[in-house]
Every structure is written in structure tokens, then in C-alpha cells.
């Protein structure tokens, strides 16, 4: 699947893998964090467990310096990846799903701002979980559509975006959305 810029040869390949994001090799692994940056469940818990204490230390330093109020929804920040097979973790905060307010732009922004940060770091391969589709309650189908739309239309120098599906059904949904 091709996306990204349509000038020169800057195309981005998008691939899908099923499994645990902490096992994926990429320059940057995206964390579906919360604003506190101090850990949580789901992807966040798995990344902190696998990354080790250096990741939490880096997050605490961010909170003590540039991000005293935490990371805004839709924003992204990078830390060391600790023991993970990656150079960086890019922490982003997806919006909680709401039935009264359309927060699609914030979810898109979690993807696009992560890619912009990846560009500024020089990361050429990045892996995303399905942001906001767990504890933050987005219907999986909607979360997949926003993710695929965001990464296929983004302007980025990233060569390979891996979308990590935690289960087979999610992998199938992502593959289907990519072929539309």
C-alpha cells in the first residue's frame, strides 16, 4: 500500500502484523500512553514492562521539565526505548471515545504528530498500536478506519509504517481498510 508524499520518491509502505508491539523491531515504537506519561495498562503497561526503568525515568524527567501538566491529547513526545528493540518510544495520547463529541481529529492527530516527530528524529520505520481502541473505548472498526486514513494520507519521510494488531480480527479489519 502506498501513501505519503506524491513528490519525488517519498512513498511510505504500510504493513500489518499481528502480535505484541513490544516484540516488533522498528526505529520507533509508538506508545498509546495517557497524559500522565507515568504508565498504565494495555500497550502502555507492556511497553514500560519491556522497556524497563529507563523509560519511566525518561517520562518522569519530561514531567519534571518540559511537560509539568503532562502530554496533551493528540500530541506526541519521544523517549529512549530502554530494552526494547527500537531506538525511540514515541508516546502519544489518543482521545477517549465519546458518544456526544466527535474526537476523530484528535485521534488522527495522535498518528500524524507521531509521524512528524518520527521525521524529526530521523526514524525511518515506526510501529503503531491501534490507539484508543482499548481502555479509551473506541469502537474497533472506527479506530481502524481513522488509523488507516491517517497513516495513508500523512506527509512523512518514514519508509515503513507497521500497524500492530493484537488479535486476528483486528488484523483482518486493518487489511480490509488498507485495500479500500
Least distance in angstroms from the C-beta of 169 to ligand ADP: 10
Q: Which is nearer to ligand ADP, 4 or 108 (CB)?
A: 108
Of 6, 8, 20, 44, the catalytic one is: 44
Rounded Cα distance, 89 and 126, in Å: 9
Q: Which is nearer to ligand ADP, 4 or 114 (CB)?
A: 114
Integer CA distances (angstroms), 1 to 9, 27, 151, in order: 14, 20, 11
Residues interacting with ligand ADP, by CB under 6 A? Answer: 20-22, 32, 41-44, 46, 94, 129-136, 164, 166
Integer CA distances (angstroms), 61 to 64, 72, 173, in order: 5, 16, 38
Integer CA distances (angstroms), 62 to 42, 83, 116, in order: 22, 19, 19
Shortest CA distance to 120 belongs to which of 71, 70, 158, 66? 158
Least distance in angstroms from the C-beta of 101 to ligand ADP: 17
Least distance in angstroms from the C-beta of 57 to ligand ADP: 21
Q: Which is nearer to ligand ADP, 142 or 157 (CB)?
A: 142
Rounded Cα distance, 134 and 130, in Å: 8
44 given a catalytic annotation: yes
Least distance in angstroms from the C-beta of 8 to ligand ADP: 33
Q: Which is nearer to ligand ADP, 52 or 155 (CB)?
A: 52
Q: Which residues are catalytic?
A: 44
Amino acid at each position: 500500500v502506498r501513501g505519503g508524499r506524491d513528490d519525488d520518491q517519498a512513498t511510505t509502505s504500510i504493513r500489518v502484523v499481528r502480535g505484541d508491539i513490544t516484540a516488533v523491531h522498528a526505529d520507533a515504537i509508538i506508545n498509546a500512553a495517557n497524559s500522565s506519561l507515568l504508565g498504565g495498562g494495555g500497550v502502555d503497561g507492556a511497553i514500560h514492562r519491556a522497556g524497563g526503568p529507563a523509560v519511566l525515568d525518561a517520562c518522569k524527567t519530561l514531567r519534571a521539565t518540559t511537560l509539568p501538566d503532562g502530554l496533551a491529547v493528540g500530541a506526541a513526545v519521544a523517549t529512549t526505548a530502554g530494552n526494547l528493540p527500537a531506538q525511540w518510544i514515541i508516546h502519544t495520547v489518543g482521545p477517549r471515545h465519546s458518544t456526544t463529541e466527535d474526537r476523530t481529529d484528535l485521534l488522527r492527530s495522535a498518528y500524524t504528530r507521531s509521524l512528524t516527530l518520527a521525521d524529526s528524529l530521523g526514524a525511518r520505520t515506526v510501529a503503531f498500536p491501534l490507539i484508543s481502541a482499548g481502555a479509551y473505548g473506541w469502537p474497533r472498526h472506527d479506530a481502524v478506519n481513522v488509523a488507516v486514513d491517517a497513516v495513508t494520507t500523512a506527509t512523512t519521510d518514514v519508509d515503513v509504517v507497521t500497524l500492530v494488531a493484537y488479535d486476528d480480527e483486528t488484523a483482518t479489519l486493518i487489511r480490509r481498510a488498507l485495500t479500500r
